[in-house]
Structure 1
């Protein structure tokens, strides 16, 4: 049940009647017609912009269209009133029975809020994709939570979603990892080592070095790199991916696919992708202009193999093969995305850190060219996370050697708090994570506030059962809901009614933080109704000696609890049964 979609359909049908009666000209597009909550709840339950967006193409005054549309709408039993405001906005008030229907739907429909909008489109969400050189750090945490919540949101909205991790195991950084593990391997044999600049001295490699010793004994000691590098590289990468999988498990994240960059080399996949671009006339030999700004000391013009990415919206063309014949770092990424296209996905989403901002246009250009514009690519950038304790920059013991890890954060506050708070800002906005504030029990802490609303409803349900009031969902849905007549009760029902609409908007914009914002607002309405009962006894959920009215009031907050649980599920957060 999506009441906003239902009323929009009513508006579109009414407009069609006006066309048929000659009030409006034929051929008008209604794509821009919306039905949404008004900015000021005092203006009504819903508002439509129909008259405003159709006035110019219809050659009529907005108010004339609004007046005619209003007369059509009020003829429907669902519309209590349709008032024209300002130059032509139309504010609608719905019949009280609509809100009772929303409560019943939330209590009886296990899929309330779910959408078929996605139409099972195959959508790949790639996220985290950190270099396999160490544990995930706090920056990866935000990308991991965002990507996982987005994947869950899209699944909830009817998309066929695949979660994927791209293992960056094909570059020089994995050679550095292998050398770092070799140093720990030497230490495991009680040898003294020097750590060259650029290696990874984190304690997390101690166990890996010891494990390598257990596997090969002293076979690699005093041997040149040519003997051990490839084997140690593979051993170290596997160990780091086990570590990363463990980090993701701390947040309840499971990937469907782990795709290795290294698998692209020697397989012909890079060559195939470049040949595809070449066949489209997008590969050529040329020399790039010098970089803007300060000139690097080692820059000199070189003829290279270039991808004409400017033909697909990029600012400059991009090199895919160096003058010495080696592939650039961009070439395997092109091949990886071509592999995604070849696997038949209808849409691609990449979640990158903020430092990949310069990568957006070139990657979109590549996917556009490789798919002939068929497959859209959306790249979401997650901004930095700053850690605090009581407002002061927070320092922790760094097992990783140079950064604070995902496991450090989860150990401090738990996975649910971590996940929810990482979604309290839009992905491209900086995020402050204060360990004291995210665990405090106050309205200012959205994690607590939403969880507390869920727990409060449970408290009411327990007290109702103790009073021998039947409160299973089927019984509550069958209660006489006409007792829900107060404005605060109607407002809560209206907020519950927004859930299906919110899901579709958040899924369409790829913005799971909208779910967190909505849950906070919904929880605020629950708490507000609870507090109102302290001064107005008629609003209390348990009415002494009146089980029927109690069931109606409990039905309302139980419906809100159902939606809170569904929203928390999308965010990957477990609802709490009671606050401790």
Structure 2
């Protein structure tokens, strides 16, 4: 059930009737006609822009269209009033019976309420985290992991076939640095004194890796040149780091469907195949780039390079794909990786990058556009930085990590549920302040607590009702008479519940899971308001002493709130609590 979609269908049906009657010309498109909540709730329950968007193509005044449409809509029993505002906006108020039947519909649908078929089974690949396998995940990776995982769940909820993917950056020089760092820990495990030079990884997390390497090979690599041990240690260290990363992700409840190795692109012909695909489209050429902006002439040495003509697909400049020594630039395997994704047949690709990858956006979009002939969209989401605070001060780095705060540090402090919810309390491209003290506060200012408390309150009512011998299973509550639900505070809750299916569609269409967190806070606020009003208005209390039918009606509304909160928290990857401790 999607009430906004139902009323939009009503609007479209009446517009078609106006066409049939000659009040509107044939051939009008209604795709841009919307039905949504008005900016000011005082104006009504819903508003449609139909008259505004149809005025120009129909050659009619918007107000004339709105007035004619209002007359037709007012004849539907669901519509109480249809009023024209301003130049032609149309505000609708729905009959109270619409809101009274909504909780029963929600309880009948259960967890499927709000689920959508808008994805129509289209295949979506969401790549996220994709941290270099050189150490534990840090707090920046944490935000990307939570955002990407929630986005994948949101799209799944909206009817898409989603693949969660992690790209292992194990083909670059940083993996050699990791191998050398592990080798130092290996020597240390053999009792040697070592010094970590600049450019190596000094974190304590490599101590057990060095010890494990010693257990694996004994003293075979001691005092041996790199040519003897580098390749083997690199593989050993990468495997150890990926195991650590998997364990970090598991702390957040993140499970990937695919781990794709960059190393698998080399020596297999995959990079060459991707570049040949672009060459066949006349997008690979030899040329000289203009000097970068801000470079003085004496700092710039023009040289001929092998370039991808990315400007043909919306980029600012063409991009080098091969170095002067004939080796590939870092961009070439990225092209090949996305070529592989395109070949796998996805309908949509989504990459979740950190804030420092802003310069990659246009070139990667250009590459995917070229590789797929513009048929496969790529949406790139950047997650901004997270600033951590504790006791009013910036949270210190992890000694274990050496240089940064790890995912484990955060989860150990507040738990996975709080971590995940808080990471979604800001839009992904906005900086986020994460205060360990505030996120554990039991107050309205803490959205995690506020939403969980609403769900716990509903469950407390259910427990008390059962203790009083009142049947409050969902099937029973779905069949109760809610015609007595007339108070504005109760109807406000119902109106907010009606927005859930529409919210899912908007969030999925824009790839913005933070909208779910925002909505849950608003729904919880409406539930808490109703609860608190019951202190002053006895007839609003969920348990009506001596009146089972009235109690069940009140509880049906509360239980509907719990159904939606549970679904929303499920998308965010947060476990609903039934009791606050």
In the alignment, what sits opposite 1:54? 54
Matching of residue 426 in structure 1 with residue 427 in structure 2 = yes
CA contact (8 A) 2:167 2:259 kept: yes
Superposition pairs for residues 76-475 of structure 1, below 5 Å? 76-110=76-110, 111-295=112-296, 299-475=300-476
How far does residue 534 in structure 1 lie from its aligned partner after superposition? Answer: 0.6
Q: Helix, strand or coil for the counterpart of 2:483?
A: helix
2:41 corresponds to: 41
CA contact (8 A) 1:483 1:553 kept: no
Partner of residue 537, structure 2: 536
- Determine helix, strand or coil for the equivalent of 1:557: helix
SS of 1:258's partner is strand
Cα deviation, residue 187, structure 1: 0.1
1:507-522 mapped onto 2 (5 Å cutoff): 507-522=508-523
Q: Is 2:398–2:406's contact at 8 Å kept on the other side of the alignment?
A: no
1:398–1:405 CA contact under 8 A, matched in 2: no
Judged with a 3 Å threshold, the aligned counterparts in structure 2 of structure 1 residues 336 and 397 are, in CA distance, closer, same or farther, namely: closer
Cα drift, residue 382 of structure 1: 0.2
CA contact (8 A) 1:174 1:237 kept: yes
Quote how far apart the aligned CAs of 1:295 are: 5.0
Offset from partner CA, 1:263-309 (integer Å, 9 cap, x none): 00000000000000000000000111111114599752221100000
Note the alpha carbon deviations across 1:424-457, whole angstroms, 9 max, x for none.
Answer: 0000000000000001000000000000000000
Runs of 5+ in structure 1 lacking a partner? none
CA distance in 1 between partners of 2:100 and 2:566 (Å): 20
Indicate the larger mover: 38-47 or 519-528: 38-47
Partner of 1:29: 29
User: In structure 2, what is the Cα distance between the partners aligned to 1:569 and 1:446?
Assistant: 16
Note the C-alpha offset of 1:104: 1.2
Query: Which residue number in structure 2 is paired with residue 504 of structure 1?
Result: 505
**1:106-138: CA deviations, max 9, x gaps?**
111131100000000000000000000000000
Aligned match of 1:547:
548
Please state whether the residue corresponding to 1:75 is helix, strand or coil.
Answer: coil
1:534 counterpart SS class: coil
1:31-65 deviation per Cα after TM superposition (whole angstroms, max 9, x unaligned): 11110011111211111111111112211111111
SS of the aligned residue for 2:379 comes to strand
Query: Which residue number corresponds to residue 14 of structure 2?
Result: 14
The alpha-carbon deviation at position 391 of structure 1 amounts to: 3.2
The separation in 1 between residues aligned to 2:297 and 2:470, in whole angstroms, is: 77
1: distance between equivalents of 2:391 and 2:487?
41
Q: For 1:161 and 1:80, locate their aligned partners in 2 and report how far apart those are by CA, in whole Å.
A: 41
Aligned-partner Cα distance in 2 for 1:308–1:344:
24
Q: 1:270 aligns to what SS in structure 2?
A: helix
- Per the TM alignment, residue 398 of structure 1 is displaced from its structure 2 partner at its CA by 2.7
Q: Distance in 2 between matches of 1:188 and 1:113?
A: 56
**SS of equivalent to 2:534:** helix
Which has the higher mean CA deviation after the structures are superposed, 21-30 or 221-230?
21-30
- Kept in 2, the 8 Å contact 1:390–1:437? The answer is no
Aligned residues of 2:204 and 2:401 also touching (Cα < 8 A): yes
Paired with 2:238 and 2:180, the residues of 1 have a C-alpha distance of: 12
Aligned equivalents of 1:300 and 1:166: distance in 2?
34
- Does structure 2 retain, via aligned residues, the 8 Å contact 1:368–1:375? yes
Partner Cα separation in structure 2 for residue 193 and residue 137 of structure 1: 26
Displacement of 1:346: 0.7
Looking at structure 2, the residues matched to 203 and 389 of structure 1 have their Cα atoms a distance apart, in angstroms, of 23
Moved more, 21-30 or 178-187: 21-30
Could you tell me whether the CA contact under 8 Å between 2:285 and 2:309 is conserved in 1? Answer: yes
Aligned equivalents of 1:552 and 1:202: distance in 2?
59
The 2-side partners of 1:105 and 1:199 are apart by: 60
* Local SS of the residue matching 1:9: helix
Contact 1:181–1:208, Cα closer than 8 Å, also in 2: yes
Q: Deviations over 1:218-276 (max 9, x none)?
A: 00011110010000000000000000000000000000000000000000000000000
Could you tell me whether the CA contact under 8 Å between 2:482 and 2:553 is conserved in 1? yes
- 1:524 aligns to what? 525
Determine the C-alpha separation between the residues in 2 that align with 1:180 and 1:298: 35
Q: When the two structures are aligned, how many residues end up with a matched partner?
A: 580
Q: Secondary structure at the match of 2:472?
A: coil
Moved over 3 A (4+): 294-299
Does structure 1 conserve the Cα–Cα contact (< 8 Å) formed by 2:398 and 2:404?
no
Q: Tell which deviates more after alignment, 350-359 or 98-107.
A: 98-107
The 1-side partners of 2:248 and 2:33 are apart by: 46
Distance in 1, matches of 2:561 and 2:551, equals: 16
Deviation of the 1:362 alpha carbon:
0.2
Q: Distance in 2 between matches of 1:476 and 1:105?
A: 10
Give the drift of 1:94: 1.1
TM-score (normalizing by structure 2):
0.99
Structure 2 alignment gaps of length 5 or more: none
Q: Aligned-pair RMSD on alpha carbons?
A: 1.0
Alignment-derived partner of residue 5 in structure 1:
5
2:535 match: secondary structure: helix
